[in-house]
Amino acid sequence: MAIIADALNNLTDCASSVATILGFSLSTREKDSKHPYGHGRMEYICGLMIANFILFTAVSVGKSSLERLIFPEAVQISAVVIVVLLIGIIIKLAMAIIISCLNKEISSATLKAVKNDNLSDALVTTVALLGVLCASFTTLPLDGLLGFLVSIVILWSVWVSFSENTVLLLGEGATIETEKSIRQIVMRDQIFQKVESVTLHDYGPQEKIAFIKVAFGESSSSLETDQSLKRVQQQLKDELHLDATLYWDMTAKI
């Protein structure tokens, strides 16, 4: 039952991969009059679709596992099954590492969900393998128990993915880490005295807009001020992929 559960989970991953490709394809469409900030949030919608696919798997596996607990059956063990499960674990760990490396550059919530899904898949397959190895040494309905455990792990994966993508779709503000990075970049320029506030609007991984209220230090020329603003805006674009607008209290002296 645990191996069947793992197989269903892998089949769902195929559908999830299609949804991921679709999400990236739609999110890169050009801006238009109806969508002036682009289509980046399509990636988050596809992330929710993936969560629903995984949820279906978890419910199906949980139902079948409960039936196996009530009506236990003998488990047949073979070397082929063990080898296939080992290969599956290695492939899933490799995929998680590759996706994690790729995602360092674009910080995609969908790719993060795919990476976490691969890690949980490796755990699920490991549980299935342990069940196969231990089945002949106990009279407990280990098959049903492990299948049910697998469904719980999958449900946790669903909850994490659903929560993250829902927050992003509703519009997440700047995280503590992002706000700290913004403040550090702005304050590199000595013309600024402090960063008073940071507001971030997320329209997709490649379309994040920041409004940063600053206060100036000593009086500076208009040319120097303009150069500093352009320099900081470019640094925020290059380092954090943000389209930033810096503004200040117009009654304050510059």
Specify whether the backbone of 184 is left (phi greater than 0), alpha (psi in -120 to 50) or beta: alpha
Nearest-angstrom CA–CA distance, 203 and 208: 6
pLDDT at position 219, please? 61
Specify whether the backbone of 24 is left (phi greater than 0), alpha (psi in -120 to 50) or beta: alpha
Nearest-angstrom CA–CA distance, 73 and 68: 7
Could you tell me if 176 and 202 are in contact, meaning their C-beta atoms sit under 8 angstroms apart?
Answer: no
Dihedral angle computed from the Cα positions of residues 137, 79, 82 and 73, in that order, rounded to the nearest 10 degrees: -50
Note whether 2-170 and 176-247 share their fold. no
224 contact partners, CB below 8 Å, separation of at least 6: 191
Handedness of CA 56, 159, 118, 20 (dihedral sign): positive
Nearest-angstrom CA–CA distance, 133 and 55: 28
Lowest-confidence region among 79-83, 97-101, 143-147, 228-232: 143-147
- CATH superfamily of the domain spanning 176-247: Cation efflux protein, cytoplasmic domain (3.30.70.1350)
Q: If one looks up domain 2-170 in CATH, what number appears?
A: 1.20.1510.10
User: In the chain, pLDDT over 70 holds for what percent of residues?
Assistant: 89
pLDDT at position 73, please? 67
Q: For residues 13-19, give the mean pLDDT.
A: 76
What's 184-240 look like in SS3? HHHCCCCCEEEEEEEEEEECCCCCEEEEEEEEECCCCCHHHHHHHHHHHHHHHHHHH
Please give the residue that has the higher pLDDT: either 109 or 208.
208
User: Tens of pLDDT along 146-193?
Assistant: 778 777 877 887 887 788 778 777 777 777 888 889 999 988 888 888
Q: Hey, where are the domains in the chain?
A: 2-170, 176-247
> Is the pTM higher than 0.85?
no
